[in-house]
Amino acid sequence: MALGPRLDLRQSQSLVMTPQLQQAIRLLALSNLEIESFIAEELERNPLLDSGGGDDEAARDAPEPEIVAVEGAEPETVDALVATGDADRDAPLDVNYDSEDFHQDSAADRMMGLDGGLAMDGIGTSGSGSGEAPDYDSFAAGAVSLQDHLLAQAGACLSGQDLAIASQIIEQLEETGYFLASLVDLSQRLGAPLHEVERVLAVVQTFDPAGIAARSLAECLALQARDANRYDPAMARLIDNLDYLAKGNVAALKRICGVDDEDLGDMIRELRAYDPKPGCRFGQGDQVDAITPDVFVARRANGWAIELNSATLPKLLVNRTYYAELAGGAQDKQSKAWLQDCLASANWLLKALDQRARTIIKVSTEIVKQQEGFFRHGIAHLRPLTLKTVAEAIGMHESTVSRVTSHKYLACDRGLFELKYFFTSGIQSSDGGEAVSAEAVKSHIKTLIGAEDPGAILSDDQLVEMLRARGFDIARRTVAKYREAIGIGSSVQRRRQKALGSHAA
């Protein structure tokens, strides 16, 4: 067989990920805080981008993304970034591409061609300025200082001289929550008897957080043990001998407390779970930023209103007036090319941010539809849900839904939840019916234990039988794992706690 060069013509498909498509994919996974930082960098880099502070003409000419409620619209069947097709599902980043989407402009047209209507069967979505909006201010909570938190509690239960004394005690607390001032000096300054100041201090020490206004570490731990109904004589002796605990002298502690190895181990674990600096969790010194919701969900007469929290992101515009001024000046070929690149980049960024918002709304809408029982009736009605279920329902790829739900939070009348919270594993029903969410099972465990008789504490085996009677096919080790996950002790620990509570009463 002769060997020699030859030419062959073959047709094949290949995956092309343009830098802009990669950027749009990355934007999906960013939180609002990260998006804000990203936009700030783009504003510095691109002179044609404006954060909304430009002139009115620029604002009028710039496209302003908006999500509007449209009754009866069906969920879109186009992926957030590109249309799904029959291409190889082993593509990088797990995003499917149809052959028509290999061209950047085609993908961009699809992104901007999506219908703004994301409502379905009584579930409405809206953007800023669309219709009558609920009072979402109720979802926001400002940072509260330790002093403000304690003064509010003092005002609810004290008055007159007692309130004045409590206010002075609270004002002199350390950032850690400890009271290290002299009670004698405070008594003399206020002209109040020392025993009255001590009595009011004891009242302040009952406030939230537990352990506040303590004068030593031992007193701080003792206050928290009392709050947890765990301050029995054995625990009191353990707290009085913290130096032995620091040295690891277990033998001496067992002898002093009069307990065995198992009880001492339980006591030490509880002690280590207490907060030695209860004041530090409040807004003093370096503050931890509160979580800001990305999506608001509010009940309506005919369903649900789902709105993106646009207040957390700066308004981004393309300053076309400035572009016209630059384009009209004398420029060389290289400058004109740079200006065109800036304009194309700015337009693409606005489209990508707009589509990010639409995609978050679309995924959130499907979550509300799938978990409507939770939003109406609570955690016991949370259903098992997977990323694949949501992806198939709205015509997106599973990896896209995963990115959208990362570091995003939803606020509703039941609280603030990460979008990932609504994706839970299922427990099979013992009667062959519909599976239930693991979170719902935890809720049932908490309810059963909360209603148990102090004289008949439920063991994990008994909980298994009671859950099976309710239709949950669950193993004992799973019950123990769920019980520990929601912070409930073993039957031995609960028996001791409830015995102490009834004795104190």
487, 437: one domain: yes
Q: Quote the pLDDT of residue 288.
A: 46
42, 130: one domain: yes
272, 163: one domain: yes
169, 202: one domain: yes
Q: Answer for the pair 98, 82: CB distance below 8 angstroms, yes or no.
A: yes
121, 160: one domain: no
Q: Answer for the pair 436, 426: CB distance below 8 angstroms, yes or no.
A: yes
Q: How far apart are CA 317 and CA 51, in angstroms?
A: 6
Residues 6+ apart with CB under 8 A from 169: 179, 186, 197, 200, 201, 204, 213
| Residue that is last in its domain, among 254, 281, 308 | 281
CA angle 381, 382, 383 (to 5 degrees): 110
DSSP assignment letter at 412: E
Regions of the chain where pLDDT drops below 50: 54-122, 125-142, 284-288, 502-505
Q: How far apart are CA 200 and CA 194, in angstroms?
A: 10
Q: Answer for the pair 449, 415: CB distance below 8 angstroms, yes or no.
A: no
Residue at 238 is within a domain? yes
DSSP assignment letter at 471: T
| Residue that is last in its domain, among 281, 309, 342 | 281
Q: How far apart are CA 151 and CA 170, in angstroms?
A: 7
Residue at 11 is within a domain? no
Domain range for 201: 146-281
What token pair was written down for 287? 């503050």
Q: Quote the pLDDT of residue 143.
A: 57
491, 366: one domain: no
Q: Quote the pLDDT of residue 124.
A: 52
151, 256: one domain: yes
Q: Quote the pLDDT of residue 476.
A: 81
Q: Quote the pLDDT of residue 392.
A: 92
Q: How far apart are CA 46 and CA 113, in angstroms?
A: 25
Q: Quote the pLDDT of residue 99.
A: 28
Q: Quote the pLDDT of residue 368.
A: 93
CATH of residue 429: 1.10.10.60
Of 357, 422, 410, 358, nearest to 386 by C-alpha is 422
Residue at 4 is within a domain? no
Residue 46: how many other CB atoms lie within 10 Å: 17
451, 340: one domain: no
- What are phi and psi for residue 423, nearest 5 degrees? -100, 105
153, 243: one domain: yes
Of 87, 77, 70, nearest to 114 by C-alpha is 77
Could you give the angle at which helices 146-157 and 194-204 cross, rounded to 10 degrees? 110
Q: Answer for the pair 416, 409: CB distance below 8 angstroms, yes or no.
A: yes
Q: Answer for the pair 49, 318: CB distance below 8 angstroms, yes or no.
A: yes
Q: Quote the pLDDT of residue 175.
A: 87
Residue at 366 is within a domain? yes
Q: How far apart are CA 188 and CA 202, in angstroms?
A: 18
Could you give the angle at which helices 250-257 and 261-273 cross, rounded to 10 degrees? 100
CA angle 224, 230, 234 (to 5 degrees): 115
Q: How far apart are CA 76 and CA 114, in angstroms?
A: 8
162, 276: one domain: yes
Split into its structural domains, the chain has a count of 3
| Residue that is last in its domain, among 376, 391, 406 | 376
Of 65, 69, 30, 36, nearest to 298 by C-alpha is 69
Residue at 34 is within a domain? yes
Residue at 35 is within a domain? yes
What token pair was written down for 358? 């639409």
- What are phi and psi for residue 125, nearest 5 degrees? -125, 150
Provide the residue count of the chain.
505
Residue at 316 is within a domain? yes
Q: What is the DSSP string of 372-387?
A: HHHHHH-GGGPPP--H
128, 162: one domain: no
**Tokens 């940072």, located at residue:** 143
Pairing outcome for strands 409-412 and 295-300: parallel
Residue 204 identity (one-letter amino acid): V
CA distances to 177, 223, 241 from 131, in Å: 47, 51, 64
Q: Quote the pLDDT of residue 289.
A: 52
Residue at 183 is within a domain? yes
Q: Answer for the pair 322, 339: CB distance below 8 angstroms, yes or no.
A: no
109, 231: one domain: no
Q: How far apart are CA 323 and CA 338, in angstroms?
A: 12
